[in-house]
């Protein structure tokens, strides 16, 4: 079963970011379905996690509901990440989620980036903000992102229309996911342990006991 996880950073209800996320999710699932792959998807909405994300930033640990979101993302075969465009970038909440997400969670993760904004003048936010961040996090970012301006939701169905762009992005993403094959989530805890075991095995003297009484 292919598991798609949609991370969406919209703040209001209803949210155009969520609306965009829903449409991309549907297109990706349909595309995977055409390839004969069974698929499920789940959403990680960031707004209800707002306090948990900021607390994690301040305390260094995640409360259970945020931990659950981390595990959901870690277990995904592909991630769709959608943010509102704020001040020429992603929203602070969206960035903060990925700032507290444990390191290497997104390593080798196919990811489709998308953003919503007031006007189409902000569309390069995908290329200047989202793509570099996810590249830095070692995700495999799909070449085609989706940017939706408010006007797009009233736009006519045409060659450059939102529906066509979503369809193209979904098709590219599914090709990428299929090519990437099955993903094994990183286990940094045991990787670190194994590294230490190797380091200690290279030391000269063996372990010595002595203090534990029989």
Partner 1 sequence: MQFGIFTVGDVTPDPTTGRTPTEAERIKATVAIAKKVEEVGLDVFATGEHHNPPFVPSSPTTLLGYVAAQTERLILSTSTTLITTNDPVKIAEDFDVLQHLSDGRVDVMLGRGNTGPVYPWFGQDIREAVPLTVERYELLRRLWREPVVDWEGRFRTPLQGFTVTPRPLDDVPPFVWHASIRTPEIAELAAYYGDGFFANHIFWPASHTQRMVAVYRSRFEHYGHGTAAQAIVGLGGQVFIRPRSQDAVAEFRPYFDNAPVYGHGPSLEEFMAQTPLTVGSPEEVIERTLGFREYVGDYQRQLFLVDHAGLPLKTVLEQLELLGGEVVPVLRKEFEAGRPADVPEAPTHESLVAAVRREQAAGSDDAGQDS
Residues contributing to the site for partner 1 (CB under 8 A): 54-55, 58-61, 63, 189-190, 192-193, 195-197, 199-200, 203-205, 207-213
**Of 45 and 55, which has the nearer Cβ to partner 1?**
55
Instruction: Give the C-alpha separation, 212 to 214, whole Å.
Output: 6
**Of 108 and 195, which has the nearer Cβ to partner 1?**
195
Instruction: Give the C-alpha separation, 184 to 112, whole Å.
Output: 19
Interacting residues of 106 by C-beta distance below 8 A, sequence separation 6+: 73, 79, 98, 134, 137, 138, 139
CB of 65 vs partner 1, minimal distance in Å = 12
Residue in this structure with the two tokens 């004969």, named with its chain if needed? 36
| Host H or E run for residue 86 | strand 78-86
CB of 206 vs partner 1, minimal distance in Å = 9
SS3 171: helix
CB of 48 vs partner 1, minimal distance in Å = 16
CB of 50 vs partner 1, minimal distance in Å = 13
**Of 38 and 207, which has the nearer Cβ to partner 1?**
207
**Of 182 and 208, which has the nearer Cβ to partner 1?**
208
Task: Give the torsion through C-alpha atoms of 166, 167, 171, 176, to 10 deg.
Answer: 0
């Amino acid at each position: 079963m292919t598991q798609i996880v949609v991370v969406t950073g919209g703040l209001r209800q209803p949210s155009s970011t969520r609306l965009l996320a829903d449409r991309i999710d549907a297109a990706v699932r349909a595309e995977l379905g055409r390839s004969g792959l069974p698929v499920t998807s789940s959403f990680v909405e960031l707004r209800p996690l707002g306090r948990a994300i900021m607390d994690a930033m301040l305390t260094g640990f995640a409360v259970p509901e945020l931990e659950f979101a981390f595990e959901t993302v870690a277990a995904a075969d592909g991630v769709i990440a959608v943010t509102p465009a704020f001040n020429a970038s992603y929203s602070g909440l969206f960035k903060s989620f990925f700032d507290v997400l444990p390191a290497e969670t997104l390593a080798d993760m196919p990811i489709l980036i998308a953003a919503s904004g007031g006007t189409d003048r902000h569309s390069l936010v995908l290329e200047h903000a989202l793509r570099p961040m996810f590249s830095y996090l070692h995700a495999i970012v799909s070449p085609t992102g989706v940017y939706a301006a408010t006007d797009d939701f009233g736009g006519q169905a045409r060659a450059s229309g939102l529906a066509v762009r979503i369809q193209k992005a979904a098709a590219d993403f599914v090709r990428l996911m299929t090519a990437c094959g099955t993903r094994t989530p990183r286990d940094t805890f045991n990787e670190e342990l194994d590294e230490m075991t190797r380091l200690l095995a290279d030391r000269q003297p063996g372990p010595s006991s002595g203090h534990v009484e029989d």
